Structure 1
Amino acid sequence: MTFSLVARCARTGMFGVAVSSSSPAVAARCAHARAGVGAVASQNVTDPALGTAMLDLMEGGLAAPDALEALRARSEFMEYRQILAVDARGATAIHSGPNSLGVWADAHGPDVAAGGNLLADAGVPQAIAHAFGAAEGHIGDRLIAAMRAGLAAGGEAGPVHSAGLKIVDKLGWPLADLRCDWTEACPIEDIATAWQVYKPQMEAYVQRALDPRAAPSYGVPGDD
Structure 2
Amino acid sequence: MTFSIAARCPETGQFGIAISSSSIAVGARCPWLLPGVGAVSSQNITLPSLGPEVLALMEQGLSPEAALDKVLTRNGYSQYRQITAINHLGQTAHFSGAQTLGVHNAVSGEQCVAAGNMLAGRSVIEAMVSAFEDGEGQLADRLLKALHAAQALGGEAGPVHSAAVVVVGELTWPIVNLRVDWADEDPIGQLQKLWDAYRPQLQDYIDRALDPAKAPGYGVAGDDR
What TM-score bracket applies, with the shorter chain setting the length?
over 0.9
Matched, 1:217 2:217: yes
CA deviation string 1:119-149 (max 9, x = no partner): 0111111100110000011001000100000
- What's the CA shift string for 1:23-72, capped at 9, x where partnerless? 10011000111110111100001000001111111111112122112223
Q: Distance in 2 between matches of 1:73 and 1:3?
A: 24
2:18 corresponding residue in structure 1: 18
In the alignment, which residue of structure 2 is the partner of 1:196?
196
Give SS of 2:171's match: coil
Tell me the alpha carbon deviations over residues 132-169 of structure 1, each in whole angstroms, 9 at most, x when there is no partner.
00001100100010000011111000000000000000
Within 5 Å, give how 1:1-224 maps onto structure 2: 1-224=1-224
Distance in 1 separating the partners of 2:126 and 2:154:
12
Alpha-carbon distance in 2 for matches of 1:218, 1:163: 28
| One-letter amino acid matched to 1:26 | V
TM-score by length of 1: 0.98
Give the Cα separation in 2 of the matches to 1:20 and 1:72: 23
How many correspondences in the alignment?
224
Distance in 2 (alpha carbons) for counterparts of 1:136 and 1:144: 11
Give deviations 1:186-208, integer Å, cap 9, x for gaps: 11111110001011111111111
Question: Which one is further off, 68-77 or 200-209?
Answer: 68-77
Shift of 1:174: 0.5
Residue 214 of structure 1: CA displacement? 1.3
Identity over aligned pairs, percent: 50
Secondary structure of the structure 1 residue equivalent to 2:203: helix
SS in 2 for 1:106: strand
Q: Secondary structure at the match of 1:74?
A: helix
- TM-fit CA distance, 1:113: 0.4
Which letter maps to 2:101? L
| Secondary structure of 1:195's aligned partner | helix
The DSSP-based 3-state class of the residue aligned with 1:69 is: helix
The alpha carbon displacement at 1:108 in A equals 1.2
Whole-angstrom CA distance in 2 between matches of 1:220 and 1:72: 49
Q: Offset of 1:75 from its aligned partner? A: 1.9
For residues 60 and 219 of structure 2, what CA distance do their matches in structure 1 show? 42
Runs of at least 5 residues in structure 2 that lack an aligned partner in the other structure: none
Work out the CA distance in 2 between the residues paired with 1:7 and 1:168. Answer: 11
What letter is aligned with 1:218? Y
How many Å separate the matches in 2 of 1:109 and 1:10? 13
Query: What SS does the corresponding residue of 1:115 show, helix, strand or coil?
Result: strand
- Give me the CA root mean square deviation: 0.8
State how far apart, in whole Å, the 1-side matches of 2:60 and 2:210 are. Answer: 27
